[in-house]
Amino acid sequence: MRTPFEGENARKEDDTMIFGIRPVLEALDSGKEVERIFMQRDINNPLARELKMKLAEKSITYTAVPMEKLNRLTRKNHQGVVCFLSQISYFKIEDVVPDLFAHTRYPLVILLDKITDVRNFGAICRSAECMGVDAVIVPEKGGAPVNGDAIKASAGALLRIKVCREFNLKKTIEFLKESGFSIAGCTEKATKPLFDENLDRPLCIIMGSEEDGISLEYLKRCDFLLKIPTVGKTASLNVSVAAGILLYEINRQRK
């Protein structure tokens, strides 16, 4: 299975891609936001060690891959490192929350667990921006990349909404609970329909992948679970459709 960066955009080497150790170091020193870094497995020369130290200082993770993977991303002299720069600026949730409570009666954020499809991700962000969501929280690893396809699927909403990229979602959930948020998981395993729950409060909605749903470690941290009632025989809704329905109900209750 190809990664999101092994498709046509990667082969064309768009302006989000840089490669070579020194160019990546310079990008980091200039404050560029990094979307993904792929580094040759077992690379250990002095410059590579300097890059690894720089990444550690900035709490940026990289993916160790075989040389063949890097060669598929670019045919040029990558020196064992290929980096994709982000097309947006990321936020940290601990910096965002105080401002939300200062300006919003009941803040609303959505946390995405293993949503890897860029079109679903973009569509969720489109609905989120339309429905007044204050921030979208994504994992540092294991989520869809914020690339051109995602921005297109969001109809540009990704350029207008705060996206918080967090290394540890468990700590993020605990921080939100301590800050006064109720945590709600949207899952077909729930027994209570979302229409019967009070959603007019500071709220963090967790949406899981269509394949696996919400991870158990996050599910058990939810204050309550929500189910979207259906009448057909199809087992579940597309995750972006489910997000749109849920966000509409939240707005209906609040207005």
39-49: average pLDDT: 93
Which amino acid would we find at residue 211?
Answer: E
pLDDT tens figures, 140-162: 888 998 988 899 999 999 999 99
Q: For a pLDDT cut of 90, what percent of the chain falls above it?
A: 73
Q: How confident is the model at residue 68 (pLDDT cuts 50, 70, 90)?
A: very high
Q: Which has the closest alpha carbon to 218: 80, 86, 112, 75? A: 112
Q: Is the pLDDT of residue 41 over 50?
A: yes
**Weakest mean pLDDT among 76-80, 200-204, 211-215, 231-235:** 231-235
Identify the pLDDT of residue 4: 43
Rounded-to-integer distance, Cα 118 and Cα 147, Å: 8
Which amino acid would we find at residue 188?
Answer: E
Angle between helix 239-254 and helix 118-130 axes, rounded to 10 deg: 10
Q: Is the pLDDT of residue 25 over 50?
A: yes
CATH fold of 93-254, please? Alpha/beta knot (3.40.1280)
In this structure, the number of other CB atoms found within 10 A of the CB of residue 211 comes to 9
Structural domain boundaries in the chain: 4-85, 93-254
CATH fold of 4-85, please? 60s Ribosomal Protein L30; Chain: A; (3.30.1330)
Identify the pLDDT of residue 216: 93
Q: Is the pLDDT of residue 233 over 90?
A: no
Question: What is the reported pTM?
Answer: 0.85
Q: How confident is the model at residue 12 (pLDDT cuts 50, 70, 90)?
A: very low
Q: Which two tokens stand for residue 96?
A: 């965002």
pLDDT tens figures, 88-121: 999 999 999 999 999 888 999 999 999 999 999 9
Q: How confident is the model at residue 80 (pLDDT cuts 50, 70, 90)?
A: very high
Rounded-to-integer distance, Cα 109 and Cα 117, Å: 20
Q: Is the pLDDT of residue 178 over 90?
A: yes
